[in-house]
A = this chain, B = another copy of it.
Amino acid sequence: MLDERKAAILRAVVEEYIDTAQPVGSAHVVRAPGVHVSSATVRNDMATLEQEGYLRQPHTSAGRIPTEKGYRFFVDNLGQPAALRGSDAHQVRSFFEQAHGELEQMLQDTSRLLGDLTSYAGVVVGPAPTEATLRSVQIVSLGPSSMLVVAVLSNGAVEKHQLDLAEAGAALADGVGEERVAAATAHLAAQLSGSVRTNLPPLPVTGDTATDALCELAVASLRSAHGEGPDQVFVGGTAKIARAFDALETVREVLGILEEQYVVVTLLRDVLDRGLQVAIGTETGMAPLAECALIVAPYQAEGEPAGTIGVLGPARMDYPQAMAAVAVVGRRLSQRLTDG
Interface residues in chain A, defined as those with a beta carbon under 8 Å from any beta carbon in chain B? 100-104, 135-136, 138, 140-143, 145-146, 148, 150, 152, 154-156, 158-162, 164, 166, 221, 225, 236-239, 242-243, 246, 248, 251-252, 255-256, 258-259, 302, 340
Q: B148 near A150 (CB under 8 angstroms)?
A: no
Residues in chain B near residue A142, CB distance under 8 A: 135, 154-156, 340
* A145 touching B102 in the complex, CB below 8 Å, given contacts A158-B160, A248-B246, A251-B242: no
Instruction: Give every chain B residue within 8 A of A248 (Cβ-Cβ).
Output: 242, 246, 248, 251
B255 touches A239 (CB 8 A): yes
Contact yes or no, A252 B242, CB < 8 A: yes
Q: Is the CB of A158 within 8 A of B148?
A: yes
Q: Are B148 and A152 in contact (CB under 8 A)?
A: yes
Q: Which residue on B lies nearest to A142, using beta carbons? A: B156
6 examples of A-B residue contacts, CB within 8 angstroms: A135-B142, A152-B160, A236-B259, A239-B259, A242-B252, A251-B251
Give the Cβ gap from A188 to chain B, nearest Cβ, in Å: 13
Do the beta carbons of B256 and A239 come within 8 Å of each other? yes
**Bound complex: CA A215 to CA B18 (Å):** 54
Contact at A340–B146, with CB atoms within 8 Å?
Answer: yes
Is B255 a contact partner of A242 (Cβ separation < 8 A)? Answer: yes
Which one of A136, A164, A340 has the greatest number of beta carbons of chain B within 10 Å? A340
- Sample of 14 further A-B pairs with CB below 8 A, known A104-B104, A238-B259: A102-B159, A135-B140, A135-B142, A136-B138, A138-B138, A142-B154, A142-B340, A150-B150, A162-B340, A164-B340, A238-B238, A242-B251, A242-B252, A243-B252
